[in-house]
Structure 1
């Protein structure tokens, strides 16, 4: 067991050393789906994680077990008020305010805008002949989708993207007692600009409300159901939604498409399967590797009783390959029957934006599959040379160069989906508690 603990510790501390360690996951699932590391218990089994997530004696707030909140900046204090960082009745109250905006009817109304937004970004990149999937597509697309559904003009997206990246960095930075005061001051100054923008946006919607989520939130503030900082945190969350998660998920899905040329043929023949392909890429790649819960009461899970006061580190990446849940879990199979994985969380904290992510990811995959008829899509990267993320909670790639020169004698890029074609083979802990 000590060798397993050592291997797991190395993976947590040096995740870029092996982005996708199925052998480690298999050992954890077979030998210790609940592994005691002292104050932290690592939970890797699918059902074991679900048990923790659904248990009433858990909290996302680390202060519930005496741990400090991550971050001391003004932005960190707003991040700690966001919906995913709230517990119990407070979380339920806030989530109820957003639920109607993510109803099946409203989501379907958003589909055309999301697909047109994805095409607006992807088409000029393909025309250029090469681009970086991460920087040029997977970073701007989540913000563009958020701006589209919140009725924010395209002209504002570059500024909002910069601020969204600021929020994403704040989720990962460790601002302890040794933090550089000048660095914190610079972050606070940058966030002040974002805060002013959001407050101006909310004031405009309050003065002339529309049928958008920000307008409804300003009404909730006027009715006393939200205070000023709750509203600010909500809108900041909406604008930054998807960075790190959808960004990583998009890169992982495109990487899978490049490695499995038959997927492009499937998507051209059956474009309606694109969401299932993207969803399976999320299961296999797990862009959110792990989350955690503070245990306010003892939790019996997998034959182990974890005492109150401990932290359960939930290793989603392992659970999404649990053979007790997924047949042949290391195989990419968009047709598998067990579609409920943990890439978007589970229970009360299941991601509200998951359907939007599926729509956006599917639109990108369909666009690339169509382009593969007339362009040679490839990447110079191999599994051994991929620059994986260097931090633990969010997986994914730091970059994914994609080459897409026109094929000799190729027709227009937007040819119909029924023409056969192939993509070219490629060459060759406090912070986690809040997830």
Structure 2
């Protein structure tokens, strides 16, 4: 067993989880963690195989409902999230993903390049007019995905701040740390969820009457009894908002921070802008937006000789798998030209992130424009990380940009 703590929320591990994850992967790659009451799976091959293991269920919200009976706010929030595609198994997941896939066609996403570039440039323009240190997350990385998602769903642009607020409330539950603040978090999330459901319900009704070129209209375009119901459309909108906003914000912010801490790589990217594609893949591997994906054990299974029992939880530690030396040469070294680069930052298999292409595009464009237009960019303080088990996310990214 490793001599180090296995609490991923302890301050040193939350700030820099990679030394702890390296020790776990080397000494006890299938590790029972008492602090998390879950198995921590840290080797790349084991994580990759776990995505295909039918004993490990993505339907991980429903089991919590019974365990948390008697907590009205908590159970209501979990009930609203329990039908999301990402927390369902086949056949429900198969049907929902097939219906959603039409809205995420490559041609539709590729056609958003000009819009995303314009949004990024508008925010960089505003950033550059303000003197002194500023938060790059608040000014660029945070608003971009909210605006993109609002536009994709055909919502009025002025509603984008509401989208951001709802995404934050959902993140309190999905990525929260537990403890004494849990009840307060769920009360806040419940208020946000009810408001969001009402909003999306009205938007669905409007698009039923007057369909457009937006993604919501595409989601409801399928004829026949197999189409998405209004409740499923509302749930899909909520999922797209939450998953698309949090992950993309983290991807952009973490990538900028990694480059600022590796100025030689930042200079290389300025000199070789055509490297942006593989650079983003490497930055996703090096310090990606999600540390942990959760699974619920529905039947006994064996991983590396350890017996995993039904009713237990498994944490697939993506951050550890993406730095496994058995899969990646010099895994703790940032290499913008790394190839091949089979990272699992967006998952794998049937539950691979359906919006990965969009997240990659937003990150590539945002990073390329920041690098090209902000040559004097530098850290203006030590960034602080949010205390989160699942998400690798910064509280703020203080920077300054000299002429």
Residue 45 to residue 388, structure 1, CA distance change in 2 (3 Å):
same
Contact 2:201–2:230 (Cα < 8 Å) also in 1: no
Task: Report the aligned-residue RMSD.
Answer: 2.8
Partner of residue 380, structure 1: 380
Contact 1:78–1:229 (Cα < 8 Å) also in 2: no
Higher mean Cα deviation, 352-361 or 125-134? 125-134
Higher mean Cα deviation, 63-72 or 34-43? 63-72
C-alpha deviations, 1:359-412, integer Å up to 9, x for none?
111112211211244xx211123xxx4311112211121111110132xxxxxx
Distance 1:295 1:94 in 2: 22
Contact 1:133–1:400 (Cα < 8 Å) also in 2: yes
Q: The residue matched to 1:393 in structure 2 has which SS?
A: coil
How far off is 1:177 after superposition?
Answer: 11
Higher mean Cα deviation, 149-158 or 43-52? 149-158
TM-score (norm 2): 0.88
Partner of residue 29, structure 2: 33
Partner of residue 340, structure 1: 342
Contact 2:2–2:27 (Cα < 8 Å) also in 1: no
Higher mean Cα deviation, 270-279 or 389-398? 270-279
Residue 229 to residue 347, structure 1, CA distance change in 2 (3 Å):
same
Q: Where do residues 109-148 of structure 1 align in structure 2 (5 Å cutoff)?
A: 109-129=111-131, 130-148=133-151
Q: The residue matched to 1:191 in structure 2 has which SS?
A: helix
Distance 1:63 1:155 in 2: 33
How far off is 1:323 after superposition?
Answer: 0.2
Distance 2:144 2:11 in 1: 26
Residue 244 to residue 211, structure 1, CA distance change in 2 (3 Å):
closer
Residue 273 to residue 165, structure 1, CA distance change in 2 (3 Å):
same
Out of 147, 166, 171, the residue aligned to residue 168 of structure 1 is 171
Partner of residue 209, structure 1: 211
Out of 191, 194, 197, the residue aligned to residue 195 of structure 1 is 197
Partner of residue 44, structure 1: 42
Q: Which runs of 5+ in 1 are unaligned?
A: 407-435
How far off is 1:240 after superposition?
Answer: 2.8
Contact 1:61–1:85 (Cα < 8 Å) also in 2: yes
Distance 2:258 2:238 in 1: 31
Contact 2:42–2:316 (Cα < 8 Å) also in 1: yes
Partner of residue 390, structure 1: 387
Higher mean Cα deviation, 291-300 or 93-102? 291-300
Q: Where do residues 208-227 of structure 1 align in structure 2 (5 Å cutoff)?
A: 208-220=210-222, 223=225, 225-227=227-229
Contact 2:167–2:246 (Cα < 8 Å) also in 1: no
Q: Which runs of 5+ in 2 are unaligned?
A: none
Contact 2:384–2:395 (Cα < 8 Å) also in 1: yes
Partner of residue 62, structure 1: 60
Distance 2:62 2:300 in 1: 13
How far off is 1:43 after superposition?
Answer: 0.7
Distance 2:178 2:326 in 1: 40
Q: Which has the larger radius of gyration?
A: 1
Contact 2:135–2:398 (Cα < 8 Å) also in 1: yes
Distance 1:358 1:250 in 2: 9
Distance 2:309 2:190 in 1: 38
Distance 1:66 1:143 in 2: 29
How far off is 1:79 after superposition?
Answer: 2.1
The total of aligned residue pairs comes to: 396
C-alpha deviations, 1:101-159, integer Å up to 9, x for none?
22222221122222222222222112323420222222211111212323333222122
Q: Where do residues 305-320 of structure 1 align in structure 2 (5 Å cutoff)?
A: 305-320=307-322
Distance 1:62 1:219 in 2: 30
Residue 169 to residue 274, structure 1, CA distance change in 2 (3 Å):
same
Residue 164 to residue 177, structure 1, CA distance change in 2 (3 Å):
closer
How far off is 1:55 after superposition?
Answer: 1.0
Distance 2:304 2:199 in 1: 48
Distance 2:181 2:125 in 1: 46
Q: The residue matched to 1:156 in structure 2 has which SS?
A: helix
Residue 257 to residue 218, structure 1, CA distance change in 2 (3 Å):
same
Partner of residue 412, structure 1: none
Distance 1:78 1:64 in 2: 10
Partner of residue 254, structure 1: 256
Does residue 8 of the first structure (1) align with residue 10 of the second (2)?
no
Partner of residue 293, structure 1: 295
